[in-house]
Amino acid sequence: MRKLIDENKIIVEIGKIADSVNANAYLIGGYVRDLISGRNSMDIDIMIIGDGIKFAEIVAQRMNTKLSAVYKKFNTALLKVDRTIIEFSSSRKESYDRHSRKPKVHPASLSDDIARRDFTINAIAISLNKETFGEIIDLFNGVDDIKNKIIRTPLDPIKTFDDDPLRILRAIRFAATFQFVIEKHTFEGIIKMHNRLRDNIVSQERITKEFLMILGSAKPSYGLELLFKSGVMDVIFPEIAELAGVEQRKDYHHKDVFYHTLKVVDNISEKTDNLWLRFAALVHDIAKPQTKRFVEGVGWTFHGHEELGARMLKNIFKRLKLPLDKLPYVEKLVRMHLRPIPLANDDVTDSAIRRLAADAGEDLEDLLLLCRADITSKNPEKVKRFMNNYEIVEKKVVEVQAKDKLRNFHSPVRGEKIMEVCNIKPSREVGVLKKAIEEAILDGLIPNDYEAALNYLYKIKDEILEVNSGEEK
């Protein structure tokens, strides 16, 4: 361990500064965990026995820089050196009010500070002083838990999660990120205390941040299933929890909608790190519980679930405080996820292909990726058939786009030209005429070029302007 620390010049220098001012300094937290695990980390946590802020000021002065931030309430300070962020803190213990996750802090010993940590894997300290440099202080067997891939609280899990309910989500996030197992009593504590997340003492932003990190893990289904089994999903994303137990047609799916969804998310996560494409996979069947109907001779149907699902997303995005600029993308993928498959038939027209390409736009590749991920049958013949169908659709799209120059499709005749030809000002009629040209191209009535589109405009403008003029009256 000493050798690994020796390789970091910043840490070595901090140790020397600590000796020069007779301060006891320790590496602690996530950096130590990642060091033992063999992972890289750019964030360094330094704990000082005494005044952490004062020591941080000395380090900043010695390194000819300034502190990035100081938080006097928690006796912490931040220092940025190159790309490395260093957090200095005073050794402390904490006491909590049940109506807040922000603790009152009190000066304390090294052992007290270690004991207040969320999980044993984060409760390991390494001395930076010369006489004990590299010595590991591991009061709760955190090193063994890292080696055995276990998430466990140092103290009573009930008290741990009651004090700070965000730790419930952090436990599941760590398990998902590192593919660790949550120790039995710790998981039982999560189950017993999951409703603490309803008490509005954890901000929605923090909840959503943890959830998205779970979704961004290598195999999201692991963390998502832990959220469900613990009851946490019912609290933070009930629409997903409600998918459990919703049966599907056995000839298409081998799972209920919830476990089918987990498989879809895993499938797409093998192909992309695009978080919002993963989110689209998570919510693509979100309206199936509301649209479930049993049809004699057919079985369970979910007609219209793609449209209803897309309409549900705006409220979900607002409630979860997700970035609204990502909403149109997710809506589009959910609304269109059933569109491609019928287009594999031999009798499908170029017009249908044009419309798919135009409606999907630059997201067509992502849409087809989602469609492929949606194939979760255990029947290899069915999987092969569906995959072949999507290849057929892809080929047709490429052929039609090449023929019609439909890539990044829009009307060849722009709004300014329409206003000039029709002698009208900016108005609704401009959009109507532009749309009419686009529809004609998509239907194959005219080719996708400027001259053909302009001639078509001259042909239709009087009739459309007359109709719209009548509507306004």
- 152 within a domain of the structure (yes/no): no
Q: What is the mean pLDDT of residues 67-81?
A: 92
288 shares its domain with 348 = no
Exposure of 294 by Cβ count < 10 A (0-12 exposed, 13-18 middle, 19+ buried)?
exposed
- 32 within a domain of the structure (yes/no): yes
pLDDT at 250: 62
pLDDT at 100: 85
143 shares its domain with 278 = no
Q: What is the mean pLDDT of residues 223-241?
A: 98
361 shares its domain with 318 = no
Q: What is the mean pLDDT of residues 217-232?
A: 98
Asked whether the beta carbons of 171 and 151 are under 8 A apart, the reply is yes
Contacts of 200 (CB under 8 A, 6+ apart): none
Q: Residue 299 belongs to a domain with what CATH number?
A: 1.10.3090.10
User: What count of other Cβ atoms lies within 10 Å of the Cβ of residue 117?
Assistant: 21
pLDDT at 174: 98
Side-chain half-sphere CA neighbours of 334 within 13 A: 30
Please tell me whether residue 134 adopts helix, strand or coil conformation: coil
407: which 2 tokens?
């890539």
211 shares its domain with 234 = yes
326 shares its domain with 347 = no
pLDDT value at 1 more than 70:
no
- 324 within a domain of the structure (yes/no): yes
Farthest-apart Cα atoms in the chain, separation: 92
Most confident of 1-15, 168-182, 300-314: 168-182
107: which 2 tokens?
């000066």
| Range 229-256 burial, b when 16+ CB lie within 10 A, else e | ebbbbbbbbebbbbbeebebeeebbeee
- The DSSP symbol for 90 reads E
List, in sequence order, the alpha helices (H) in 414-449: 415-422, 428-442
pLDDT at 416: 92
190 shares its domain with 302 = yes
Q: Quote the pTM value.
A: 0.85
Contacts of 417 (CB under 8 A, 6+ apart): 454, 457
Please tell me whether residue 267 adopts helix, strand or coil conformation: helix
Sign, Cα dihedral of 66, 71, 76, 80: negative
Percent of the chain at pLDDT above 90? Answer: 67
Paired sense of beta strands 181-182 and 150-151, if any? parallel
Among candidate residues 343, 450, 339, 341, the one with its CA nearest the CA of residue 399 = 343
245 shares its domain with 231 = yes
pLDDT at 352: 84
Q: Using alpha carbons only, give the angle 118, 124, 128 rounded to the nearest 5 degrees.
A: 135
Count of structural domains within the chain: 4
- 409 within a domain of the structure (yes/no): no
434: which 2 tokens?
């532009």
- Least confident span in 24-33, 71-80, 81-90, 460-469: 460-469
86 shares its domain with 134 = yes
Phi first, then psi, for residue 422 (nearest 5°) are -95, -5
- 302 within a domain of the structure (yes/no): yes
Q: What is the mean pLDDT of residues 121-125?
A: 97
Asked whether the beta carbons of 192 and 160 are under 8 A apart, the reply is no
Task: Determine the Cα–Cα distance for residues 391 and 83; give it in Å rounded to an integer.
Answer: 44
- Using left for φ > 0, alpha for ψ between -120 and 50, and beta otherwise, residue 297 falls in left
Task: Determine the Cα–Cα distance for residues 443 and 441; give it in Å rounded to an integer.
Answer: 5
Confidence category of residue 457, pLDDT binned at 50, 70, 90: very high
pLDDT tens digit string along 388-425?
Answer: 888 888 888 887 776 666 555 677 889 999 999 999 99
- 410 within a domain of the structure (yes/no): no
419 shares its domain with 390 = no
Q: Residue 24 belongs to a domain with what CATH number?
A: 3.30.460.10
pLDDT at 111: 95
123 shares its domain with 49 = yes
Task: Determine the Cα–Cα distance for residues 317 and 456; give it in Å rounded to an integer.
Answer: 42
Side-chain half-sphere CA neighbours of 260 within 13 A: 25
User: 396 lies in which domain range?
Assistant: 341-404
126: which 2 tokens?
């390494």
pLDDT at 357: 84
218 shares its domain with 104 = no
DSSP annotation string for 282-345: HHTTTTHHHH-EEETTTEEE-TTHHHHHHHHHHHHHHHHT--GGGHHHHHHHHHHTTSSGGGGS
444: which 2 tokens?
């194959």
Confidence category of residue 134, pLDDT binned at 50, 70, 90: very high
Residue finishing a domain among 336, 356, 374: 336
385 shares its domain with 432 = no
Please tell me whether residue 53 adopts helix, strand or coil conformation: helix
DSSP annotation string for 331-373: HHHHHHTTSSGGGGSTT--HHHHHHHHHHHGGGHHHHHHHHHH
Task: Determine the Cα–Cα distance for residues 316 and 293; give it in Å rounded to an integer.
Answer: 24
pLDDT value at 254 more than 60:
no
pLDDT value at 449 more than 50:
yes
- 184 within a domain of the structure (yes/no): yes
C-alpha distance from residue 88 to each of 170, 357, 469 (Å)? 22, 54, 70
Residue finishing a domain among 336, 351, 370: 336
User: What count of other Cβ atoms lies within 10 Å of the Cβ of residue 321?
Assistant: 14
45: which 2 tokens?
């946590």
Most confident of 4-18, 135-149, 299-313, 362-376: 135-149
Residue finishing a domain among 286, 311, 336: 336
pLDDT at 101: 85
pLDDT tens digit string along 189-200?
Answer: 999 999 999 999
Task: Determine the Cα–Cα distance for residues 27 and 133; give it in Å rounded to an integer.
Answer: 10
- 328 within a domain of the structure (yes/no): yes
Phi first, then psi, for residue 133 (nearest 5°) are -55, 125
CA 15 from chain centre, in angstroms, equals 38
